[in-house]
């Protein structure tokens, strides 16, 4: 099966999503950020949080075997946390058109785009700078998308479909692999449920 066909497999998932509206004058700069693989401080914070939790689990398991090594790892982790806080403080704050949530969000995800719920509508065909972090491995990626559908499903609750216009091929491949893995896991669980 070709990667091009897999790009359109869709799954219901949870991810960390942040987006902001960008005007035509900002598109060249945003495209350059994607090509340079720039990761924003806010994305970095979300990605580091998951890694920090896993690192702490490993430090705890090492602690009984070698206290000095565990203590050294804890000190290095604290040092990295301080550096991450400084980077976050120096980051520029988003504008009024930025979605600030970096909590896990329910998304319908594919290699070609995503759909999610939001409290505010988006104008059709508006361009968006999107920060996306896949869970549980906290892989951060950036994309430029376009709002292709926006429907009010309840008062103050909008369903928004976003198509990726630009995303690094490595990130698209990672996204497609994530979707295929999740889809396989869902099918396996369904087969096990039917076998009972």
pLDDT per residue as tens digits for the range 35-73: 776 555 455 656 666 677 777 888 888 888 888 898 888
pLDDT score recorded for residue 92 = 42
Structural domain spans, the chain: 3-38+99-195, 41-90
Q: How long is the chain? A: 196
State the average pLDDT for the chain.
Answer: 81
8 A C-beta contact, residue 130 and residue 162:
yes
Q: Specify the CATH number of the domain 3-38+99-195.
A: 2.40.10.220
Question: What kind and span of H or E run contains 19?
Answer: strand 11-22
* Axis crossing angle, helix 67-90 with helix 41-63, rounded to the nearest 10: 170
Q: What backbone phi and psi angles, to 5 degrees, belong to 128?
A: -130, 140
Tens-digit pLDDT profile for residues 64-122: 888 889 888 888 887 777 676 665 555 544 444 454 446 688 999 999 999 999 999 99
């Amino acid at each position: 099966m070709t990667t091009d066909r897999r790009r359109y497999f869709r799954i219901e998932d949870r991810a960390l999503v942040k987006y902001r509206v960008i005007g035509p004058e900002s598109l060249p700069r945003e495209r350059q950020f994607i090509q340079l693989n720039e990761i924003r401080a806010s994305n970095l914070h979300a990605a580091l949080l998951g890694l920090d939790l896993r690192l702490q689990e490993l430090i705890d398991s090492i602690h009984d075997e070698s206290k000095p090594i565990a203590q050294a790892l804890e000190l290095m982790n604290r040092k990295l946390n301080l550096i991450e806080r400084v980077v976050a403080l120096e980051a520029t704050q988003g504008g009024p058109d930025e979605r600030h949530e970096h909590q896990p969000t329910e998304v319908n995800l594919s290699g070609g785009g995503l759909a999610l719920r939001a409290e505010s509508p988006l104008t059709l065909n508006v361009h968006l700078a999107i920060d996306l972090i896949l869970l549980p491995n906290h892989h951060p990626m950036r994309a430029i998308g376009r709002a292709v559908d926006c429907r009010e499903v309840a008062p103050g609750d909008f369903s928004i479909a976003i198509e990726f216009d630009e995303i690094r091929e490595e990130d698209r491949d990672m996204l497609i692999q994530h979707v295929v893995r999740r889809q396989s896991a869902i099918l396996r669980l369904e087969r096990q449920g039917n076998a009972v």
